[in-house]
Amino acid sequence: MSARRTLAASILLALGASCARSEHVASGPIEVGPTPVEVAFDHEVSAEGPRRDLVLDFALPAASFDASRLRAVLVAADGTREDFAPATVVRRGEALVALCVDRGAEASSGVQRYRAVELSCDRPLRLRSIRWWSGPR
């Protein structure tokens, strides 16, 4: 197997593992459109390590193909906002998509805590739920 294929397989395995370990943080229906909507998490979540994943469960599977059009802003426990970009879109199923961000060297050495995410999109979308995961690459 070539080095490129091995790397691609390793990335896909890591992405699959992160989605499997993700925790449920919000239930829908969650209506997303051009006007930003703040979705409060069921409980505060922490970001430990550079990798952060928002896993979105779309009400209509076809709408999941518009995931790259979503704008997400994390709302920290203290109210500060952190743009969730640039995000890589990873399909995890027919209606399940993960928005993945790797902060790399930008990640703070401490643990960040978030209480909500603000979502907007240039077209209307409906989500069934949101899940969260963070950790090492």
What domains are there in the chain, each with its CATH number? 3-135 (2.60.120)
Match 């970009």 to its residue by tokens.
85
Report field, pTM of the whole predicted structure over 0.85: no
pLDDT (tens place) for every residue of the chain, 137 residues total: 455 444 444 444 444 444 467 899 999 999 999 999 999 999 999 998 889 999 999 999 999 999 999 999 999 999 999 999 999 999 999 999 999 999 876 655 567 899 999 999 999 999 999 999 998 86
**Residue 76: Cβ-neighbour burial (10 angstroms; 0-12, 13-18, 19+):** middle
Burial 107-135 (b: 16+ CB within 10 A, else e): beeeebebbbbbbbbeeebebbbbbbbbb
Predicted confidence at residue 18, as pLDDT, reads: 46
Within 10 angstroms of residue 91's Cβ, the number of other Cβ atoms is: 13
Nearest Cα neighbor of 63 from 11, 126, 119 is 126
Dist. CA 105–CA 89, nearest whole Å: 21
